[in-house]
Amino acid sequence: MGTIHFCFDIYSKDIQFLSQLDTGLPFKKALEEGFESQLNQYYKMFHFLFSHPSYRFSLSIPGRQLDLFSRLHREITVVLSDLVGNKQVELLGGAYYEPLLPNILPADRVGQIELYTTALRRHTGKRPRGMVIPNNAWDPSLVTCLKTCSMDFVLMDSRLIPQYKNQSLPYIIQELGKVLYVLGQHQQHLPFDAQGRPIPPKDYLYQLEDLVFTSCHEAEHPLVCCSLSLSDFCALIDSGWLEDMEQTLKHEMTRAEFQWTLPSKYIKETQHFQRTYIPAGILTAKKLSSQETSSGTNAFPEMVVVNSYDYLLHQPRNYFLYSKMVHVSTLINNKNRKEKNSRKSARDLLWEAQSGEAYLAEPNFNSQWSHEGAYHSLLQAEHIIRDYSGFFDSVTSYDYDADGIKEYICQFPEFNAYIQGRGGSLFEYDVFRTTKNYAGSNGKNTGLFLDYFLENEFVSKSDLFTGQLYREVTFDGKRRDIKLTAKSRLGEKRQTISLRKNYYMSADGISVQYIIKNESQETFRHFFAVECNLLLDISHTSDPLDTEIIFGETDQLQVFHNEIPKENLKSVSVFRFSDKELSFVFTLNEKATLHLSENKGSLSATMVWLVDIPAQREIEKSIMFSVLPKKVINPKKKRK
């Protein structure tokens, strides 16, 4: 048995900052504020390394943090250069915005990796030889891209690697003749117990000895590689664990010798590699079934290995964002290549929007920041493409999200509206004035014009029509008409009801016509409801939201400032939501009962009509939806 090598990689992820942000800050400003809160941890780490020159660690710094270092704290890049020169620290490469590499085009993969490598070399004078796989999302096709970027090795979570392989030796993989070394990071061997407390150094060394002696008794260069967060590393410093480890290594008698090492140094010295094949996968702490995650003896939940594409499908909101990213990426690569400056600007925004945190986050208020930031960059990139390629209004139909069902893509100078066949709803509504998708809400139901039939007013809604595939009746791109239909049996009598849903698109807004037909032989009496969910937050003090509603028999106007009515309003004909830039106006052809609710930073408006339809008869309801610039009245303007 040779020397057992320690290889600890210290990392800090941007996504950690997003949970600490003030909700009134813009995305990039919030990122900088979160970064400032972590500076003390960086200083503590640097102080420890300078005072303990025997320790060796690799360091993974996200691209945006590296940029903040250079702009706000230049002294940190100087310290990093000194530590690298002393061979105490090895700076690992990565992809600048930490995207899901398997899910972006090869050109974008290479571009993101080279962007980070260039930044690292510019700020520290060193080019990395290896990198950490962002978000632990792996695909065998990455080997070719990594070798194109001159990467010799990668670090990835060992749970992505076939478990029958020796866990204490490095791996070697190949793809189309390209060879890459792999170091598995064993997160189950972190120096913490199930309660998150540091394991005494002596006990920790004995655990590692048992692991290595069991798995590779004959190996000359066994390796224990772990990935340690910056906060955990600082916790080890504060507890004195690292000083105790240094004394233990000097004075305790163990069966093997232990030594701190760096990834590139270890790969250069060892000759024990295992040939293997690593299939596509990504780690997630959330199972894709109804079963709950279980916990082992370690402090982290059991991880599930799936491929990154299936994980995106797990959250429809994330998959819609992914489809938008693919759409914009296709536009950039297919448009006029002569406009190099414009294409470069659009591509830079695309790479920023590919940040993995936006595609992996579970729906919650904090994750909405990364989601909005991604849409903001994508819409800016799309607007640049429109400017240099020549834009004209269009309503087209094709399989936008690769589900085998056509979607309807409506593009106008001021907005985009995307309509899906399942549910016949509007699942994306982009406004270029604010570069925001207002249909991207956090709740279970997302989008506009979701259709329901209720036996009683405002009882729990059924997914009968929202989950049904609407059939196309007619589609006319020139006239901008989309006519869909669906049919189902409702109520205890199982009466057959057909619903025709007609969209009339224009640059001024969207008109939705509903024609409900009772195809049974008895009168049909139900409540018909249409739900619209908008990404508007009434809790924002920096962006107040006004709600104006015209209701009642006398069409009285009532205004709510930064609040919504708690009770249902009867006989509503028009209602409007206005923030500091836009007004969202709904006009109904027949008065309805309106129910407003807030959920996770989004606003839901449900319009309800009582429908009483004789046998073989039909009725019509329609909604006009438009978005207008908010009119600002100058109080200093004098009346004549």
- Note the pLDDT tens digit of each residue in 215-231: 765 566 788 899 999 98
**280-307 average pLDDT score:** 56
Question: Which one-letter amino acid corresponds to residue 42?
Answer: Y
pLDDT of residue 291: 36
Q: Which of 73-87, 135-149, 625-639 has the highest mean pLDDT?
A: 135-149
pLDDT tier, 16 (very low <50, low <70, confident <90, very high otherwise): very low
Ranges 144-158, 200-214, 593-607, most confident:
144-158
Kindly state the helix (H) or strand (E) to which residue 122 belongs, with its residue range: helix 106-124
* Paired tokens of 182: 């792999």
Q: What is the pLDDT of residues 306-328, one digit of tens each?
A: 888 888 888 888 899 999 999 99
Is residue 117 helix, strand or coil? Answer: helix
Classify domain 4-288+300-306 at the CATH topology level.
7-stranded beta/alpha barrel (3.20.110)
End-to-end CA distance of the chain: 96
pLDDT confidence of 195, banded at 50, 70, 90? confident
* Whole-angstrom distance, CA of residue 539 vs CA of residue 548: 17
Whether residue 98 contacts residue 104, with contact meaning beta carbons closer than 8 Å, is answered with: no
Total residue length of the chain: 640
Question: Stretch 602-618: mean pLDDT, rounded?
Answer: 93
Euclidean distance between CA atoms 278 and 140, whole angstroms = 7
Question: To the nearest whole number, what is the mean pLDDT of the chain?
Answer: 86
Quote the pLDDT of residue 638. 37
pLDDT of residue 297: 38
Which CATH number fits the domain 392-629, given the four candidates 2.70.98.10, 3.90.105.10, 3.40.50.150, 3.30.9.10?
2.70.98.10
Burial of 619 (0-12, 13-18, 19+ CB in 10 A): middle
Rounded Cα distance, 152 and 131, in Å: 9
Cβ atoms of 24 and 277 closer than 8 Å? no
Instruction: Return the pLDDT at 364.
Output: 55
**Cα angle, residue 248 at apex, residues 247 and 253 outer, rounded to 5°:** 130
Cβ atoms 155, 130 nearer than 8 A: yes
Q: Is the pLDDT of residue 295 over 50?
A: no
In 352-437, where do the E strands start and end? 394-398, 407-411, 415-420, 426-431, 436-437
pLDDT of the residue at 211: 79
Determine the average pLDDT of the residues in 55-74. Answer: 88
Classify 408 as helix, strand or coil: strand
| Dist. CA 532–CA 104, nearest whole Å | 32
- Using pLDDT thresholds of 50, 70 and 90, give the confidence band for residue 601: confident
pLDDT tens track for 476-529: 999 999 999 999 998 888 999 999 999 999 999 999 999 999 999 999 999 999
Task: Assess contact for 98 and 62: CB atoms under 8 A.
Answer: yes
Residue 541: pLDDT above 60?
A: no
Taking alpha carbons only, the member of 383, 389, 360 closest to residue 285 is 360
Helix (H) or strand (E) holding 153: strand 153-157
Look at phi and psi of residue 135 and say left if phi exceeds 0, alpha if psi is from -120 to 50, else beta. Answer: left
Percent of the chain beyond pLDDT 90?
55
Q: What does the pLDDT average to over 257-263? A: 90
pLDDT in the model for residue 199: 92
584 vs 411: CA distance, rounded Å: 18
pLDDT of residue 615: 94
The DSSP annotation for 172-210 comes to EEEETTEEEEEEEE-GGGSSB-TTSPBPPHHHHHHHHHH
Say what the pLDDT of residue 60 is: 94
| Confidence label for 57 from pLDDT (cuts 50, 70 and 90) | very high
Of the CA atoms within 13 Å of residue 453, those in its CB half-sphere come to 25
- Tens of pLDDT, residues 425-450: 999 999 999 999 999 776 667 899 99
Q: Tens digit of pLDDT for each residue in 358-396?
A: 898 765 555 677 888 899 999 999 999 998 888 899 999
Residue-level pLDDT at 631: 62
Query: In the predicted model, what is the mean pLDDT of residues 560-564?
Result: 87
Say what the pLDDT of residue 218 is.
Answer: 58
Instruction: Return d(Cα 233, Cα 219) in angstroms, integer.
Output: 29
Q: Quick check: 292 pLDDT over 50?
A: no
Task: Write out the two tokens for 555.
Answer: 């069409």
100-128 confidence digits (pLDDT tens): 999 999 999 999 999 999 999 998 888 99
Question: Per residue in 25-56, pLDDT tens?
Answer: 455 565 566 666 688 889 999 999 999 998 99
Query: Which 3-state string (H, E, C) describes 154-171?
Result: EEEEHHHCCCCCCCCCCE
Burial class for 608, CB neighbours closer than 10 Å (0-12, 13-18, 19+): buried
Q: How confident is the model at residue 424 (pLDDT cuts 50, 70, 90)?
A: very high
Q: How far is CA 564 from CA 69, 556, 573, in A?
A: 43, 16, 17
- Counting Cα atoms < 13 Å in the Cβ hemisphere of 507 gives 6
Answer yes or no: is pLDDT of 201 > 80. Answer: yes
Write down the pTM of the prediction: 0.88
